[in-house]
Amino acid sequence: MSQTFADQLSELLNTALRSTSAADQIPSGFTAQIDQAQNRNFGDYQSNAAMVLAKQVKKNPREFAAEIIEAIPQSDLIDTPEIAGPGFINFRICGEALENRLSALLEDIERIGVAPAENSRTTVVDYSAPNVAKPMHIGHIRGTIIGDCLVRISRFLGHNVISDNHIGDWGTQFGMILWGWKNILDESAMEEDPIEELLRIYREVNAKTKDDESFKDICKNELVKLQSGDAENLAIWEKCIELSKSGLQKIYDRLDIHFDLWLGESFYNDKLGPLVDQLLASGIAVESEGAVAVFSDGTLGEKDDPFLKNEDDEWKPQPALIRKSDGGFLYATTDIATIDHRIDELKADAIWYVVGAPQQLHFDQLFQISKRRGQDVDLQFIPFGSILGKDRKMLRTRSGETVQLADVLDEAVVRARAIVDEKNPDFTDEEKAEIAEVIGIGSVKYAELSQFRMTDYIFDWDTMLALKGNTAPYLLNAYVRTRAIFRKLGSDYEVASEISLTEDAEKTLTLKLAQFAEIVPTVLDDFRPNALAQYLYEVATTYHKFWEACPVLKADGAVRETRLALCELTGRVLRCGLGLLGIKTTEKM
């Protein structure tokens, strides 16, 4: 498969730049950017290189742009470029290049032009990671869905990706759970719905600790017993983990999310003691008031130093605690050990953490500690914001509790079913159920992935399930329409023998579809699945415009074949793109 239009243009432009009279003055590392044009009236791609370089080469930007255009050799890729405004260079892909690209994309069934990344890396993606025996709430939905999408895209680009669910299976909540298990467990409820019963225990005991200090100590005592290896407590703990994991697995199955590893916090328990000793010996950690902590080493500017905080106009120490004075280890200790394991055993080149924005400080400190230990690994914190209710406060149920993920999925499917019932009354019950599942789960995922991850967004059923607008139902419907034509024809797509683009709407759609290969890799530049979502939405709207302007089945010869080819390719791009977002498609709705 040849390069994308953007890459080909970039080559043309950068070569041209170096054969202008200003070539000597252009910094050797400079590469001119090629951007997709927002509006096809002014061309398909645009570069601001002449404006960016004008000062450096001491030329008027428009004149320099003309000189660059002069230096671009004749090619069968573009018509003659044009200058616009203060010195933009506009490129228009010529009709024949669009036709050739369309043919090539049709043959590239699996990848639709997306080239594998040049350097394949081993990346561990750490996401979802709920805390055992606590509810997996709606907040976890963000990390789970974003993480899964990043895994899918990295894999598609040819990277070796290991997804790891770093569940919180060793936290202080176990003190409460253990006491609850021994004292208030309802056996039959546990049999019926273990997750629900564990949750009830956690909530009830948690409430009891709120106003009773001595009861807090009782729970803490259970935790200490567990941590020092008490057989009874260990057995209960194991049972809890097992029950929770199988409950979580059900949710993940429904979401079509699969982890390669479930190395929870407890996996690292026996590594923590030696690790702290090693950190002490190397001087990275020091003892402080009986505890062990990592302090600033003074090598970073104050503002960039996560081990300092500004209080009343003064920089004060903000150490990372890695062993408490009672000997207990902390979240950070486990995370340091986890990095070691991922580098040493999993051979990670990169580790991505998809975790809520409030944990920024924890990861800033963690990454600094790794640097100070001389580790050569690319660590990325990929934070996300909150999901809000319509009142713009944290989303809660009517009774004021945190909204649980499993309930959200149930409700999504029930609501989607209403749409299917109305739209397709004559489908069988089984078909309706299947389609409702695809639309319901897809809508929850798409509502998440179509937002920039840092945006706090309002969770609103009506918007996310709407058949119009930037929603999953709209995209799924567009996909279904591309499939319906072939059903009407009574046959599958047959390869077009001749491609001939005549109408503008066809060319615009071809260009859009060709840009799939340009968009997909950029998602990983800044971890923005919403760039892909936005693109797919544009594919769907462009397709609808094409559909209105260009009759398909009524056309003849090459025109008809080309239009059918465009329908087929649109379907493939939508299916592949939605698949990268983790969203399934349906053939009918």
Provide the binding-site residues for ligand ARG, judged by CB under 6 A. Answer: 126, 129-131, 166, 168, 335, 338, 353, 355
Smallest gap, in angstroms, from Cβ of residue 469 to ligand ARG? 32
DSSP letter for each residue of 329-373: B-HHHHHHHHHHHHHHTT--SEEEEEEEGGGHHHHHHHHHHHHHT
Whichever of 126 and 437 has its CB closer to ligand ARG, that residue is 126
Residue 211 structure tokens: 């106003």
Q: What is the spatial distance between Cα 460 and Cα 463, in angstroms, rounded to a whole number?
A: 6
Smallest gap, in angstroms, from Cβ of residue 371 to ligand ARG? 17
Smallest gap, in angstroms, from Cβ of residue 394 to ligand ARG? 15
Please answer whether residues 391 and 142 qualify as being in contact, where contact means their C-beta atoms are separated by less than 8 angstroms. Answer: no
DSSP designation for 265: G
If you compute the radius of gyration of the chain from its CA atoms, what whole number of angstroms results? 28
DSSP designation for 73: P
Alpha-carbon separation of residue 449 from 130, 142, 206, 344, 472 (angstroms)? 20, 8, 34, 33, 10
Beta bridge partners of 577: none
Smallest gap, in angstroms, from Cβ of residue 566 to ligand ARG? 44
79: left (phi over 0), alpha (psi -120 to 50) or beta: beta
Whichever of 90 and 128 has its CB closer to ligand ARG, that residue is 128
Please answer whether residues 584 and 479 qualify as being in contact, where contact means their C-beta atoms are separated by less than 8 angstroms. Answer: no
Whichever of 166 and 575 has its CB closer to ligand ARG, that residue is 166
Smallest gap, in angstroms, from Cβ of residue 227 to ligand ARG? 18
What residues contact 566, with CB distance under 8 A and at least 6 apart? Answer: 102, 506, 509, 510, 513, 546
Whichever of 22 and 355 has its CB closer to ligand ARG, that residue is 355
Please answer whether residues 533 and 446 qualify as being in contact, where contact means their C-beta atoms are separated by less than 8 angstroms. Answer: yes
Whichever of 126 and 448 has its CB closer to ligand ARG, that residue is 126
Smallest gap, in angstroms, from Cβ of residue 11 to ligand ARG? 41
Smallest gap, in angstroms, from Cβ of residue 365 to ligand ARG? 12
Whichever of 382 and 567 has its CB closer to ligand ARG, that residue is 382
Smallest gap, in angstroms, from Cβ of residue 172 to ligand ARG? 12
Neighbours of 413 (CB within 10 A): 20
Whichever of 144 and 585 has its CB closer to ligand ARG, that residue is 144
Whichever of 128 and 477 has its CB closer to ligand ARG, that residue is 128
